[in-house]
Amino acid sequence: MTALLSDFNKKTASAAGGGRAFFTTIQHVQGTQMTNRIPELVCPSGNLPALKTAVDNGADTVYMGLKDATNARNFPGLNFDMNSARAGVEYAHARGRSVLMAINTFAQAGQVERWYAAVDTAAQLGADAVIVADPAVMAYAAKRYPDLRLHMSVQGSATNYEAVNLMKDLFNVRRAVLPRVLTIDQVKHVIDHTDVEIEVFGFGSLCVMVEGRCILSSYATGESPNMQGVCSPAKAVRWEQLPDRMDVRLNHILIDRYKPNEPAGYPTLCKGRFEVNDETYYALEEPTSLNILEMLPEIIKIGVAAVKIEGRQRSPMYTAQVTKSLRQALDAAAADPSHFRVNPAWSKALDKVSEGHQTTLGAYSRPWK
């Protein structure tokens, strides 16, 4: 099959100016225009090299965060300052791609001005949209910058169309990112009852909790991931290399122990191994990555507006491999949905960067029902 080329429409009137129009991709295959809308491929950018890598490997849209607690990947050495953010926006826009600014934690009491300032920064930089969870921050963005697109973060925990439509009525939310706890039928139900664009996760670290509502790690660290922007603060994590094993501690609490060469997951309580009834195992969740390659034709069919890759905390190499694989897979699924097959090369590339070296369809598919 000949290469698939995406024809990206340019924005003509927006607060950002220069990004591509949302959810307007049309495919051209062997000179024939196709009617299938391909969901936007929204890719992680933890730093400027990762942003450029995502754009160069086929991302339609990249998302970034600032170097503070306003975003949910608040790790030392990660994220953007003004100079790198400006360079990233310019790089993406020059190539017809869009940039989203993640301001997706909840404002801490007495510090909401920091979250408002992040919205100001996004507007000044020319971001195409802001991804927001806190209703107060949504209200500020909607009132102060009515032409700046507002996307409801997965941290906002919208699991039904009533919640999505409420956010549209209150704040003119244009897109909602759904939590990774819904079946594909439930996702379709939301899409069928709203004109708000719906974005879903397609690959990356899997969270079994309803995003925005989990405070599990705060019992060990004393800090809420929903306000501090990280489940396991780097200052609380300790990896102890011993002769026969690797111990992992979160704020001095032993949460896992790995044998030599054993794949390790993120150092979080939910993915730790614990002794329960004299057995040691993953009591809540095994380290696993979400991978929806085989479901892409159905994702396209039900009208999902965007497929998101998790992983702003991962390396540019991760970003390159996952973006390239998802780009090719999305194009192939849209070109010929009925004959779509997962290319083994895509699976191999994704398996290499999967947490715990294993993947799952997650809640999208529930075969036990």
Cβ(193)–Cβ(147) below 8 Å? no
Instruction: Provide DSSP, 167-180.
Output: HHHHH---EEEPPT
Taking the whole predicted model, whether its pTM rises above 0.75 is answered as yes
319's enclosing H/E stretch is helix 316-335
DSSP letter, residue 155: G
Structure confidence at residue 17 (pLDDT): 44
Cβ(303)–Cβ(197) below 8 Å? no
Q: How crowded is the C-beta side of 244, counted as CA atoms within 13 Å? A: 0
Among candidate residues 147, 148, 200, 204, the one with its CA nearest the CA of residue 178: 200
Cβ-count burial of 134 within 10 angstroms (0-12 exposed, 13-18 middle, 19+ buried)?
A: buried
Cβ(332)–Cβ(340) below 8 Å? yes
Structure confidence at residue 367 (pLDDT): 65
DSSP letter, residue 4: P
Buried b (16+ CB within 10 A) or exposed e, 323-335: bbbbbbbbbbbbb
The amino acid sitting at 251 is: N
Taking the C-alpha atoms of residue 300 and residue 41, their distance in angstroms, rounded to an integer, is 12
Tell me if 43 is assigned to a ligand binding site. Answer: no
Classify 308 as helix, strand or coil: strand
CA 7, 11, 17, 23 torsion-angle sign: negative
Read off the tokens for 217.
């790690």
Classify 130 as helix, strand or coil: strand
Structure confidence at residue 162 (pLDDT): 98
Structure confidence at residue 72 (pLDDT): 87
The amino acid sitting at 109 is: A
How many other CB atoms are there within 10 angstroms of residue 268's CB atom? 25
Domains observed in the chain: 40-206+288-360 (3.20.20.70), 215-282 (no CATH)
Please list, in sequence order, all residues whose beta carbon lies within 8 angstroms of the beta carbon of residue 277, skipping any fewer than 6 positions away: none
Structure confidence at residue 273 (pLDDT): 87
Among candidate residues 207, 363, 202, the one with its CA nearest the CA of residue 296: 202
Cβ(36)–Cβ(281) below 8 Å? no
Q: How crowded is the C-beta side of 136, counted as CA atoms within 13 Å? A: 13
Structure confidence at residue 24 (pLDDT): 44
Average pLDDT, consecutive stretches of 10 residues, N- to C-terminus, the chain (369 residues): 35 42 43 64 97 98 95 86 98 98 93 97 98 97 98 95 98 96 96 98 85 80 76 84 91 89 82 87 85 97 97 94 98 96 96 88 75
Among candidate residues 284, 290, 134, 289, the one with its CA nearest the CA of residue 217: 284
Instruction: Provide DSSP, 17-37.
Output: -SSBPTT--EEEETTEEP-PP
Structure confidence at residue 4 (pLDDT): 35
Cβ(131)–Cβ(48) below 8 Å? no
Instruction: Provide DSSP, 42-96.
Output: EEE-SSHHHHHHHHHTT-SEEEE-BSSTTSS---TT-SB-HHHHHHHHHHHHHTT
Q: How crowded is the C-beta side of 368, counted as CA atoms within 13 Å? A: 3
